[in-house]
Amino acid sequence: MKISAVLLASLAAGASAFAPNAAPRFAHRADAAVSYNNQIGRLNAEVETKEVEKTAVDPAPAAAAAAVAMSAPSSGGMVAREMNEGIFNFNKKVIDTVYDIICFLYPVTGTKRDFARFYVLETVARVPYFAYLSVLHLRETFGERCEKQSERMRTHYAEADNELHHLLIMESLGGNSSIIDRTLAQSMAFGYYWYVIGVYAWNQAAAYHLSELIEDHAFNTYNGFLTEYADSLKSQPVPPVAQKYYVEDNPFLFDLFCTVKDLDDDGKFSNRRPELETLYDVFVNVRDDEREHWKTLCNLVQYDDMQGVENKDCKSTAPTPEFN
């Protein structure tokens, strides 16, 4: 189209040059050709702009699109994704079943056997972060690298390190004293690791949702334990491993897994600095850690971003009907 317009203008100009008497006759044609050329140029520019905008859209992978649907925007303006109802219900059934088995085998009684329950729970709960890292590391090995992925790997490592210290605390309290408890916990963790590997390789949002459900159970478990046995816990000392992790160690990794933070009076992200006086304080911090993990996972499921929304806007992932 551009060539035709230019050609027409050239012919008009050539005709006026070789036939002076015909110049007035062709003048209006030359002007029309130039006008036509300008219009075509504008149309081409509009088409090119639309093509650029179209190709700039980064569509979500097919599996992720099948797992989530868009919901109403948060107060911060971001739009949360809802989990496909079929995937949501299946994930919930898997996690509820595992949790119910642990609750049945390890009822909370206010005795040292409660620490065995927490030992099993922490052994299983930390496994998904290993699975995420394994898949991301493999993809990185084959050349799939970006800042977003690297940031997630660092955060998942910090989350795994935090869960490790929860486990060390439970072991220091005698939670792993029975070989039966150790065998059960490690067997469940081994099987769950490979399950999460498969889910995460297929659909990251679905895998993050599994851990969101686990962390929510963990928070409620510790919160109930603190409410029921506060007096007993306040009479017991702080385990050295907890004192070292929460108070004495470099807080870099601790701060790294706390991705959803409040703003302080200066408009900067606040840092959580635990204070420990009794075993009660230790369990308060373990409980609060689980909530930090839960917030990060909610953001990953709903916004595909660890800092998706602030504390006040974090809420559990909602299912959306599979068929409308």
299: its two tokens: 């953001």
Q: Compute the C-alpha angle 86/95/318, nearest 5°.
A: 45
Reference 40, options 51, 50, 48; nearest CA is: 48
Residue 238 confidence (pLDDT): 96
Name beta bridge partners: 68: 83
Q: Which amino acid is at 59?
A: P
For 9, list phi and psi in degrees, rounded to 5. Answer: -65, -40
More confident residue, 229 or 64: 229
- State the burial class of residue 192 (Cβ atoms within 10 Å of its Cβ: 0-12, 13-18, 19+): buried
Q: Each residue of 269-293: pLDDT tens digit? A: 556 678 899 999 999 999 999 999 9
Q: Average pLDDT for residues 236-260, to the nearest whole number?
A: 88
- Count CA atoms closer than 13 A to 171's CA, side-chain side: 12
Distances (CA, A) of 49 to 2, 88, 183: 17, 40, 62
Residue 40 confidence (pLDDT): 46
Reference 174, options 253, 247, 117, 133; nearest CA is: 117
Reference 132, options 98, 157, 161; nearest CA is: 157
Q: Average pLDDT for residues 195-208, to the nearest whole number?
A: 95
180: its two tokens: 């039966």
Distance of alpha carbon 211 from alpha carbon 257, whole angstroms: 14
Q: Average pLDDT for residues 110-126, to the nearest whole number?
A: 93
Q: Please give the torsion angle defined by the CA atoms of residues 124, 126, 129 and 131, in that order, rounded to the nearest 10 degrees.
A: -30
- State the burial class of residue 303 (Cβ atoms within 10 Å of its Cβ: 0-12, 13-18, 19+): middle
Distance of alpha carbon 153 from alpha carbon 14, whole angstroms: 68
Question: Which residues, at least 6 apart from 127, have a Cβ–Cβ distance to it below 8 Å?
Answer: 189, 192, 193, 196
What's the pLDDT band for 213 if we cut at 50, 70, 90?
Answer: very high
Q: Each residue of 141-179: pLDDT tens digit? A: 998 888 888 899 999 999 999 999 999 999 999 999 999
Residue whose entry in the numeric block shows the structure tokens 């989530």: 68
Q: Return the axis-axis angle of helices 2-18 and 23-56, rounded to nearest 10°.
A: 160
pTM for this prediction: 0.73
Distances (CA, A) of 39 to 11, 13, 43, 46, 296: 19, 19, 6, 11, 52
48: its two tokens: 């090119």
Share of the chain above pLDDT 90, in %: 54
